[in-house]
Structure 1
Amino acid sequence: MKTYDAYKESDILGVNKVPKDWKVVNFRYLIDVLTDFTANGSFGDLAKNVNYLEEGVSRLVRLTDLRADFKNKGIYLNEASHNYLKKSELFGGEILLANVGAYAGLAWIYEGIEGKASLGPNMFLLKFKDVLDKRFAYISLTSFYLHSQLLDKATSSAQPKLNKEDVKSCVFILPTLKEQTQIANYLDHKTAIIDALIEKKELLIQKLQAQRQAIINEAVTKGLNPNAKMKDSGIEWLGEIPKHWAAKRLKFIFKIQKRIAGELGYDILSVTQRGLKVKDISNYKGQFSMDYSKYQIVNEGDFVMNHMDLLTGYIDISKQTGVTSPDYRVFELIEEKCNPQYFLYISQLCYKEKIFYSHGQGVSQLGRWRLQAKEFNNMTFPFPSFEEQKEIADYISLNTKIMDKVLVETEKSIKKLKAYRQSIISEAVTGKIDVRDWQQKKIN
């Protein structure tokens, strides 16, 4: 791809130069409307005049709805509430910008949904003057040079947050309107190709994960002998199990521990969807108690679970000694003839199939759906012989090894494609490449 004939120096971080004829302007001069939910009234007035409903005439568009592509359970408004929020009514085509929390600085184009809609809290609504192509504005907001400005402003305090002045004070690289449209057309075409490749790889991951989980589910609950005689386990989620298996309550398999560290100097362990990881606290800015002497000890071989969040939490076996949050649950096997890997597989199944979730309680909308210790202890797991536990664990390991390798390689490939997508966007919107003569090839 060719470059422009002449460039000029730029003071924008990460952008050394821009095409000579392009403008570098303050974003405030390109914005026509910058508003949000709170523009409709004070917090007190909003509380009195806006009623959230499970069903209504208008949908409140939140960040969580955009991330779920509106396939989640929404919040709705009645006619009076919708009319009260008229300053942030949505019609489709608006650019929305998250302004609070971990996603502060991320932009979306609201494509519109069936029926009325209104902007929810924690987002800005942006409209632009005629000198700025809306598609080009959105693409620029997703590019490194502009998004990094927003991110830097949002994370300047403990709680990531953007105010309107933060957005207005960003520096924007502005080609001519004709070039903006051409760049948007070029990037629409190029990113569509990349997005299609990413989608195919993500579908492959979904299929492999489903196949992998099916292998695990069948093996840990039904065993490896398809001709084994079965019996009713008496447990709804478990159904039938091999006749020669036992079924035991967890209090006879595990013992919950609560060993307080009492001193500093340990590695801090965190439960993630990829297992138990050592937390890097060298440059940690998030919510974290630097006095982790009150954290609980985790010994090598202990099970650690996030029992506070049964939707996105997980469970793993520790490969080392460390400490973890007092909000996690640490427990160890007390039955002598137990294969740890077998019980890890079945415990992870209970997260993925929402078995733990069905035994939990709390406020799921706030991410606090927890499994009380009493409920945990009274849950029942299948209990094959020690020899069969090992056979099942070895079988699962052998039959998922290739899948795991393909999953890792596919995830790496997706990461590279996303990085390539971002590099194309950054090169085009900052003028590193000249796409003025680009034309989409016609397929005969």
Structure 2
Amino acid sequence: METSMSFSHDMDNEYEKLIRRMNPPRVVVDNETCKNATVIQVDSANRHGILLEVVQILTDLNLIITKAYISSDGGWFMDVFNVTDQDGNKITDEEVLDYIQKSLVPDSSSLTRSVGLISSLDCTSIELIGRDRPGLLSEVSAVLAHLKCNIVNAEVWTHNTRAASVVHITDQETGCAIADSERLARIKDLLRNVLRGSSHSREAKTVVSFDATHTERRLHQMMFADRDYERADDNGDLDEGRRPNVSIVNWYDKDYSVVTIRCKDRPKLLFDTVCTLTDMQYVIFHGSVDAEGPEAYQEYCIRHVDGSPVKSEAERERVIQCLEAAIQRRVSEGLKLELCTTDRVGLLSDVTRIFRESGLTVSRAEVTTRAGKAMNTFYVRDASGYPVDAKTIESIRDAIGQTILKVKGAHKDSKQVAEESQSKTLFGGLFKSKSFCNFSLIRSYS
């Protein structure tokens, strides 16, 4: 029986490949039709998850999707996106346009091209999830530095008292992935002890993985599995004013459920909602997205993969809660700090230790190294719940280096430093002015 089922599954996969070869994706990039955006149209044989793959490619390039029209009824998929760069301009860079075209051609394995992926041969991936608390990132990075692990890339999200992170590490001496099972077991045990710093009943988890999974999609999956969407009784009312407006009604004539989302617009919002619906095993048949103003509007006609619309009030409420959580996970409250300098082992540990000792907590972080440069973004808040003090930020910048750590978030009390100096540093010259680079000029697709 198992052999028969396996044979049938293999036949289905081969049939899908044949259909894709017979109906290759067609990508049309148009810079003429719309005066303020580049129009990208994708036509392809339909399969579950293809919309997410396309959106993932566009968002990984840091493109802003201002409008989208989705249609994937039957065996064919068609989507039209209006996109701009971060400054609201059309996309004219031939390298970017060529990348988009090549990423969507037949058998291109578009997911493996995504910026959020790291080859399992290059580094070891560690997934962490536990209760959020001030100083957690500092403790995690200190443990890894002590174990002679270099943090190549990392992303940290916090939501609803939970913290999740995907960290890519290499061996400090060899610069390669860590494969020794005993060493990995020790890393897991020590990190799990850090995550268990609270007696909270929900379990902390540490997983070592060699799978090449898109980092941000994996974070959504981890927090969903951790049930971060469940509203806490003690803070549900506090978040009511900021909660996204999500509604679901059934369209009985067409046997669809219609999901409508209204919320403040932000980058990667479309990816977050499409990712969540896809991983919850819902298929988006039709949809429209409008994010040209400060508020984003999304509407999707969905069915579960078994062909049914939302069947119960409990299911409807669960989908709403999961979409709300997906939107709020990436909402970054706090001051945005960008750090760019020459990378070295222990850098993240040193920086986050200064944050912790200065009374700040990290609510979200993106850590990247490329060509020997560390390019890190932190969203920080006062650990006591008060507004971040401008003097505290200036003290931190003096310690790390004024030109190395930049304040990017709005901070009404902070003073603009006309002539930045980095003579004061706790690291004895480890941060040098020549190591500074403009973070915004580093292309995420390189």
TM-score, normalized by length of structure 1?
0.19
Structure with the higher fraction of residues in strand conformation: 2
Structure with the higher fraction of residues in helix conformation: 1
TM-score, normalized by length of structure 2?
0.19
